Amino acid sequence: MKYSTAILFPGQGSQTNDMRDDVERQRPELLELAVSAVGEDPFARAREGTNFAQAAIFCASLAGWHALGRPHGDVMAGHSLGELAALVAAGALDERDGLELVALRGRLMHDAGRQARDGGMLAVLGRGAADHAEDIALAHGLTVANDNSPQQVVLSGPRAELPGAVQHAEELGLRARQLDVTGAFHSPMMASAVPEFTAALAKIDFAQPNVPVISAVTVRPFEDPRRELADALTMPVRWRETLLALHELGTGRFVEVGPGRVLTGLAKRTLADVELVNA
Cβ distance 109 to 245 under 8 Å?
A: no
Cα–Cα distance, 21 to 204 (Å, whole number):
30
CA atoms within 13 A on the CB side of 230: 16
Angstrom CA distances, 5 to 11, 22, 277, stand at 20, 24, 10
CATH architecture, domain defined by 5-114+187-278? 3-Layer(aba) Sandwich (3.40)
Q: Is residue 215 annotated as part of the catalytic site, yes or no? A: no
pLDDT one digit per residue (tens) for the chain, 279 residues = 788 999 999 999 898 989 999 999 999 999 999 999 999 999 999 989 999 999 999 999 999 999 999 988 999 999 999 999 999 999 999 999 999 999 999 999 999 998 888 999 999 999 999 999 999 999 999 999 999 999 999 999 999 999 999 999 999 999 999 998 989 999 999 999 999 999 999 999 999 999 999 999 999 999 999 999 999 999 999 999 999 999 999 999 999 999 999 999 999 999 999 999 987
Q: Where in the chain is the domain with CATH 3.40.366.10?
A: 5-114+187-278
Q: Where in the chain is the domain with CATH 3.30.70.250?
A: 116-178
Q: Is residue 140 annotated as part of the catalytic site, yes or no? A: no
| Nearest Cα residue to 76 out of 225, 262, 221 | 221
Per CATH, the homologous superfamily of domain 116-178 is Malonyl-CoA ACP transacylase, ACP-binding (3.30.70.250)
Catalytic residue selected from 186, 187, 215, 247: 186
Catalytic residue selected from 14, 80, 149, 156: 80
